A and B are shown apart, each in its own frame.
Chain A
Amino acid sequence: MADLQPGATAKLKSVALKSGATVCGVADAAAFDTHAPEKHRPGDLLPGARSVIVVGGAQPREGDWAATSPWVMQTMGTTERIQGVGRRLAQYIESEFGYYALYVPPGTASGDTPFLSLMLAAQLAGLGSKSLAGPVLNRDHGFMYWSAVITTAPFDTDGVEASPACPAPSCREMWDREGTTPCLAICPGSNGGCLSGKLENGRAVRTFYDAARCNTRVHTHWVGGFQKVLEATLNEPDRDKRKMLLYGDFFTRSLWAITYSSTNIAQCFECMRVCPAAHGLREMK
């Protein structure tokens, strides 16, 4: 770290946590070479990349998990908040330290292929390890969302997590008792689900995750849902049925989902405009 001021890594991590990250770690950019395919390594996106900063957080709150209505979690996504932290860190690294920084676009380069695997980045930055259920879990905070920044700055790197969060002690006990774990039991690949796996000596020795099947369930009301209804509508010869498809809850919810409608709340406010109680007590000049 000859080129960076002393304490730069600690300062960066402190800014990340203050900006809203729950955890922050640094991976060596070269560490991706043995795991990631060509074109999807840090140096492919930013020439001269030295390190990858990963932030995690924005996970659903405990209240969200505890809510009895499934619609809470389905419609109140929190994932985007962590991306704002990543963007901010990229700007911060350039303005504060004078090194190139590239916020890794969280979308896909093409199809389902990400520019850089954020899950791999989180693992290499020592923030978590892959679970039987698929997501990378952090030992202290469990499930979280990830954002990453590739930089030419040689920040101090963190080591890969030595002991994985998954399987948890209670899951190991369940495996010994019943030959399954909570996640494998709730979504068994052998019975229409997405997951299967095997534990030996308290460690996962085999995992299977059907990403394509999972995608159709996790992103029910997403771009794919829109495309599905559009196709069904165009294939439908009956006018009335077409109308039902387009005004159906499924298509309506798909439209809400893909437009991130929190930025497009409403188009009529007239009752509130005239309501004397709706504007607070303070008189404006």
Chain B
Amino acid sequence: MTRAEQVKAIGLKAGARVVGIAPVEAFREKVPEGYRPEDILPGARSVVVAGGDGPTAGAWRSPDHRVMEITGYDLRENVAVHAMCDFIEGTLAHHAIQAPSLPVHGHEPPMSMMHAAELAGLGTRSLAAHIILNPEYGLLYYAALITTLPLEPDQPLTEPACPHPGCVAMYKRIGTTPCLRVCPACLAGTVQDGRIQESTYDREKCHSRAQTYGIGSFQKGLLQIVNEDDRDRRRTMIYSDFFTKSIQSLGFFRDSIAQCFECMRVCPVGRKYRKLQ
């Protein structure tokens, strides 16, 4: 087993669905200085990316939309990344850190997990909110580690996962795809010769729908509460379901990740894993 294979095996055993490796040099073309792996960990040589499962097929099938809103992700990709970091530092004696992926200003993370997943050959951007789709499993959640350990890298995919052949056929027929049709408010795009020619994603609009309960809704609710002069109305607002759920989601209580999945619900990539008995 090569070192790369060893590291990947640890990640898969810890719960990742897929693991890929990108060399740090690959980030230089599109990532501005200050945001590259070696800017985060001096001497970085490789980025290892883990993709983890989201909701089960059963959760996608539930007619109660609230299930998907708080369906309880196990976010195993993070566990897998820590398991691989432990192995790299503990056994291979090289520095390894989890790549920081939470926004530090606006929506900007110190390092893009989407771009890391692309460079590690795990998926390509889609028409659906530019979500990275793995050609085999479709929607996955990504985490990454940065290490000083040189590892044999994977190559970015040459064939994009999106558009799916079924979507290409649909586009030829009626000029749209399942995701563009289900959410014309957030998404727009064109397909030519079976490839994405143009793709627009209104992130601000999507954010306000997908993260109905979260930090933003807490801030919004709190501002309204603070600005409300009437004691009784303030009380109603504080104890309302909306504000209560916003507080719960702040604490990742029961893993409230998002409240809109419609573009992914209709996406055929990886759907075979959602067709069960």
User: A: which residues have CB within 8 A of B?
Assistant: 3, 39, 44-47, 83-84, 86-88, 90-91, 94, 98-103, 105-107, 109-111, 115, 150-153, 223, 226-227, 230-231, 234-235, 257-260, 263, 282-285
CA distance A75 to B70 in the complex (A): 24
Binds A, one of B89-97, B104-112, B157-165: B89-97
Chain A residues with CB under 8 A of B254: 105-107
CA distance A90 to B61 in the complex (A): 13
CA distance A282 to B93 in the complex (A): 8
| A100 in contact with B70 (CB, 8 Å) | no
User: B: which residues have CB within 8 A of A?
Assistant: 53, 56-59, 61-64, 66-67, 70-74, 89, 93-95, 148, 222, 225-226, 231, 234-235, 238-239, 241, 243-244, 247-248, 250-254, 256, 273, 276-277
CA distance A268 to B42 in the complex (A): 20
Assuming the contacts A98-B277, A102-B56, A227-B239, asked whether A46 and B61 have C-beta atoms less than 8 A apart, the reply is yes
Nearest-CB residue, chain B, relative to A90: B56
Q: Which of B61, B67, B241, B251 has the most CB of A within 10 A?
A: B251
**What 4 pairs between A and B have smallest CB-CB spacing?**
A107-B254, A102-B58, A100-B58, A87-B74
What are 6 pairs between A and B in contact, CB < 8 Å?
A: A39-B64, A46-B58, A100-B277, A231-B238, A258-B251, A284-B93
How many pairs of residues, A versus B, come closer than 8 Å at their CB atoms?
A: 126
CA distance A115 to B244 in the complex (A): 17
| A88 in contact with B74 (CB, 8 Å) | yes
| A47 in contact with B94 (CB, 8 Å) | no
Nearest-CB residue, chain A, relative to B75: A87
Assuming the contacts A110-B241, A258-B251, A284-B93, asked whether A153 and B277 have C-beta atoms less than 8 A apart, the reply is yes
| B244 in contact with A223 (CB, 8 Å) | yes
CA distance A150 to B222 in the complex (A): 37
| A260 in contact with B251 (CB, 8 Å) | yes
CA distance A23 to B24 in the complex (A): 46
Assuming the contacts A87-B74, A102-B59, A285-B93, asked whether A231 and B276 have C-beta atoms less than 8 A apart, the reply is no
Chain A residues with CB under 8 A of B95: 284-285
Assuming the contacts A90-B56, A111-B241, A234-B226, asked whether A285 and B148 have C-beta atoms less than 8 A apart, the reply is yes
Assuming the contacts A258-B247, A285-B93, A285-B94, asked whether A103 and B238 have C-beta atoms less than 8 A apart, the reply is no
A43 to chain B, nearest CB (A): 10
B151 to chain A, nearest CB (A): 14
Contact of A90 among B58, B148, B256 (CB under 8 A): B58
Assuming the contacts A47-B63, A223-B247, A285-B148, asked whether A107 and B276 have C-beta atoms less than 8 A apart, the reply is no
